[in-house]
Chains A and B, each alone.
Chain A
Amino acid sequence: MSAELTAGVAQVLRRIGGTVTGAVSKLGFVSRFLLAVLWHTPGAFRRMHLTLREIYFAGVLSLVIILMSGLFVGMVLSLQGYETLKRYGAGEQLGILVALSLVRELGPVMSGLLFASRAGSAMTAEIGLMKTTEQLAAMEMMAVDPLARVVAPRFWGGVISMPLLAALFSAFGIFGGYIVGVPLIGIDAGAFWGQMKAGVDFWPDVTNGIIKSFVFGVAVSLIAVFEGYDAKPTAEGVSSATTRTVVMSSLAILALDFVMTVFMFRGASVV
């Protein structure tokens, strides 16, 4: 009886231990992978067209979804925000509400989530498929380092695209908020822009939004290329790696956003 119990407890402990060691070793692998990617970056930038191609696939082709989502998020924000502000007779403050929520939070986070599912998953699938079809191994055979040729350009394409996409998301969101707020609801255009200008600071609001989107870009791109590189070389392996990319990067974005918000806006005077 007691021997069985001991064996059961040991089993549970062994499983916990295995999970923890697995997680730590994976974390170490990811860090070394990041260092390796950074190490191969100068080599990748020497063939700039590779990175430009990835900016095209990650950034330019994500433009439609980012701009449309930004526009609609801004419009909804404007409608809902006005409903609440109206109760306190502060409808004129709509500009601040829309601009601050977009620039500080929604712009970086929403575009990060969209970027992870639109571009990150594609990166993982592409690299995973290259691994499955042994293209990466073939490159190594030809003395071409796949980290420099395949991984680093994709990583940097994502890192460069992400802040630009987030800024476009915020800008279009504010434009959408303007469309609903000024012509539709009938707030004075001068009050809308004037209050916004008075309430939003370039430092810290806008710059912190840009820093956030840059961090999200690094996180999503790293997770995407790592999961692709680490995928099991089977059809199932690639599909589960793609799923993991979306899940992990979404969680990473939300957790990092919380941590960064705590540090960035803790001491800042609000409006």
Chain B
Amino acid sequence: MNRSAIDLWVGIFVAIGFGAILFLALKVGNLLTLDRTPGYHLEASFDNIGGLKLRAPVKAAGVVVGRVEAVRLDPKIYDAVVTLRIDQHYEFTRDTIASINTSGLLGEVYIGLDAGGDPVMLKDGDRIRKTQSAVVIEKLISQFLFDKASSGAGGEAAAPGKSVEKPAGETKK
């Protein structure tokens, strides 16, 4: 094996090696998606964020428009404050509702944004006023069971139609 043939083979090897790293970075990983696109930050506070993780998607009508960038606990009112990074292309009205949803029963947890009709748009650093917390299935079940029990014990007093059940994901004002 003479020297120039070895050089050629090593060159090919190094080139396809770096090609593989590039493939892992761009095609498999998300090096160039959303992180580099210019964006702005919004905040939203929730009673309970459930299984929300960092970098979870923020979706509006099912389209990913941003990512969860930070989650912290407000030490005064014990609410979870979530910082969202939204793609610069998208603007949301001031009365947008942020809710924590799960895609499917076991799917990923994401934040859904439902825009309203307010003419004023949210700006960088604004806080989303209306939020809906994560639905905790255990709470739902226990509420359902207690409701059943109380309506069974109360007889006609609590009619089945007007249950006093409070929805878990109560809209905060």
Residues of A within 8 A of B (CB): 49, 52-53, 55-56, 59-60, 63, 88-90, 99, 103, 161, 163-165, 167-168, 170-172, 174, 193, 196-198, 200-202, 205-206, 209-210, 269-271
**Chain B: CB-nearest residue to A175:** B23
> Min CB distance, A27 to chain B, in Å?
32
> Min CB distance, A170 to chain B, in Å?
6
Q: How far is the CA of A225 from the CA of B23 in the complex (A)?
A: 32
**Residue from B9, B13, B20, B57 within 8 A of A171 (CB atoms):** B20
Q: Determine the chain B residues whose CB is within 8 A of the CB of A63 once the complex forms.
A: 13
Cβ–Cβ contact A164 & B14, under 8 A: yes
Cβ–Cβ contact A200 & B53, under 8 A: no
Cβ–Cβ contact A52 & B106, under 8 A: no
Listed stretches B24-32, B85-93, B120-128, B133-141; interface member: B24-32
> If the complex has contacts A171-B24, A197-B28, are A165 and B108 also in contact, measured as CB distance less than 8 A?
no
Q: Determine the chain B residues whose CB is within 8 A of the CB of A270 once the complex forms.
A: 53
**Residue from A193, A202, A271 within 8 A of B108 (CB atoms):** A271
Q: Determine the chain A residues whose CB is within 8 A of the CB of B7 once the complex forms.
A: 49, 52
Among residues 3 to 22 in chain B, which have CB atoms less than 8 Å away from a CB atom of chain A?
3, 6-7, 9-10, 12-14, 16-18, 20-21
Q: Determine the chain B residues whose CB is within 8 A of the CB of A161 once the complex forms.
A: 13
22 chain-A/chain-B pairs, Cβ below 8 angstroms: A55-B10, A55-B13, A56-B9, A56-B10, A59-B17, A60-B9, A90-B106, A168-B20, A170-B24, A171-B20, A174-B24, A193-B27, A196-B28, A197-B28, A197-B29, A198-B30, A200-B29, A200-B30, A201-B29, A201-B55, A206-B31, A269-B53
Chain B interface, number of residues (Cβ within 8 angstroms): 31
Q: How far is the CA of A99 from the CA of B6 in the complex (A)?
A: 33
B33 CB–A CB distance under 8 Å: yes
> If the complex has contacts A52-B7, A197-B29, A198-B57, are A164 and B108 also in contact, measured as CB distance less than 8 A?
no
> Min CB distance, B65 to chain A, in Å?
14
The 4 tightest CB contacts between A and B, nearest first, are A164-B17, A202-B29, A202-B31, A171-B20
Q: How far is the CA of A206 from the CA of B10 in the complex (A)?
A: 24
Besides A171-B24, A197-B30, 11 more A-B contacts (Cβ < 8 Å) are A52-B6, A52-B7, A56-B9, A56-B10, A103-B28, A164-B20, A171-B28, A193-B27, A197-B28, A206-B24, A210-B21
**Chain B: CB-nearest residue to A98:** B28
Q: Determine the chain B residues whose CB is within 8 A of the CB of A196 once the complex forms.
A: 28
Cβ–Cβ contact A205 & B29, under 8 A: yes
> Min CB distance, A144 to chain B, in Å?
19
B164 CB–A CB distance under 8 Å: no
B54 CB–A CB distance under 8 Å: yes
Interface flags for B90-124 (1: CB within 8 Å of A; 0: not) read: 00000000000000101110000000000000000
